[in-house]
Structure 1
Amino acid sequence: MKADARRVYAWEDRVVAPLDRSRVPFAQMQAIIDHVWAAEGLRWPPRIRPRKATRATIATGSRLAIEAPAELPSWVLLHEIAHALADRDDGTPGDHGPDFVGLYVGLLVRHARLDRDMLAASLAAAGISWNPRARPVLLSA
């Protein structure tokens, strides 16, 4: 696992998870993905597919599919949607760089109602770079 990913996961565990304890059952995930995708001004959202959670990976997200177990914390689903929004569709695995984090923060603010200034301060304290102007790749093309 790359250092960026480790730092983002540690930040999520410390900052995001305690603030958003809601969980989403698999049957409702596609509706949330569709809603978030449309709110970003996009069409053709990724499809939800079942996945068995492992110790290393709870869920995965790409432009075409989000794979998830029977239930997820809502912030994890938003994390995977951010990967889908950042996916360049070139076969490379999604990273946890500044554009991804910027997209993820935007989703947390708009859909989990977390405070942007608090998130920005906590990212700075954790030494995580983020791009507050990040846009979904499909809108940037």
Structure 2
Amino acid sequence: MSRGDTAARRLYAWEDAEVAPRDLSRVPFAQLQALVDHVWAAEGLRFPPRIRPLPRQARATVARATRLAIEAPAELPTWVLLHELAHSLTSTAEGTNDGHGPRFVGMYLHLLVHHARMPREALAASLEAAGIPFDPAPRPAFFG
């Protein structure tokens, strides 16, 4: 998660206001893979992305993800891990992804509701109020 592009900045502002206050939990690096494996299996999927250390030179990046890997620091808020998992789910092994588009936001919302027990109606209403479009029924990108 980098704080660079415009769509990302809008989403990050929404996260800071709506998501972060609802989840103060932090996961140490040593436990991240187990959580990723759990979420992936709960979604009915196999072959989860692998957790790798975030390179030290990535100073402006909180974490980042592709379909195959999530790079993370020594500790990560749970909601940030779910954000990165949404990127993994909306990316393919070939590198295509939805960025911070409607499929990604819908998938992220789904993960927040099902794995962090956040209120769907309140989050969906706040996304709409912020003008952030989301797919109400997202599917992983690699499902075709």
Give the alignment's TM-score, normalised by structure 1: 0.93
Percent sequence identity over aligned pairs: 64
Query: For residues 32-111 of structure 1, what are the structure 2 equivalents within 5 Å?
Result: 32-51=35-54, 52=56, 54-92=58-96, 95-111=99-115
1:127 shift after superposition: 0.5
Specify whether residues 55 and 126 from structure 1 end up closer, same or farther in structure 2 by C-alpha distance, changes over 3 A only: farther
Structure 2 runs not aligned, ≥5 long: none
1:137 shift after superposition: 1.7
Specify whether residues 27 and 94 from structure 1 end up closer, same or farther in structure 2 by C-alpha distance, changes over 3 A only: farther
Aligned to 1:16, the other structure's residue is in SS state: helix
> Residue type matched to 1:130 in 2?
F
Superposed CA RMSD in Å reads: 1.4
> Residue type matched to 2:9 in 1?
R
Number of aligned residues: 140
- In structure 2, C-alpha distance between the alignment counterparts of 1:53 and 1:19, rounded to whole Å: 30
What are the superposed Cα offsets for residues 14-56 of structure 1, whole Å, 9 maximum, x if unpaired?
1100110000000110000001111111101000001148452
> Residue type matched to 1:2 in 2?
D
- In structure 2, C-alpha distance between the alignment counterparts of 1:93 and 1:124, rounded to whole Å: 22
1:89 shift after superposition: 2.6
> What's the counterpart of residue 16 of structure 1?
19
- In structure 1, C-alpha distance between the alignment counterparts of 2:115 and 2:101, rounded to whole Å: 21
- In structure 2, C-alpha distance between the alignment counterparts of 1:60 and 1:68, rounded to whole Å: 7
Structure 1 runs not aligned, ≥5 long: none
Confirm whether residue 116 of structure 1 aligns to residue 117 of structure 2.
no
List, as ranges, runs of 4+ consecutive aligned residues in structure 1 with deviation greater than 2 Å.
52-56, 88-94
- In structure 2, C-alpha distance between the alignment counterparts of 1:103 and 1:83, rounded to whole Å: 8
Q: 1:62·1:94 contact (CA, 8 Å) conserved in 2?
A: no
1:119 shift after superposition: 0.4
- In structure 2, C-alpha distance between the alignment counterparts of 1:96 and 1:9, rounded to whole Å: 10
Q: 2:90·2:97 contact (CA, 8 Å) conserved in 1?
A: no
- In structure 2, C-alpha distance between the alignment counterparts of 1:93 and 1:44, rounded to whole Å: 18
> Residue type matched to 1:83 in 2?
H
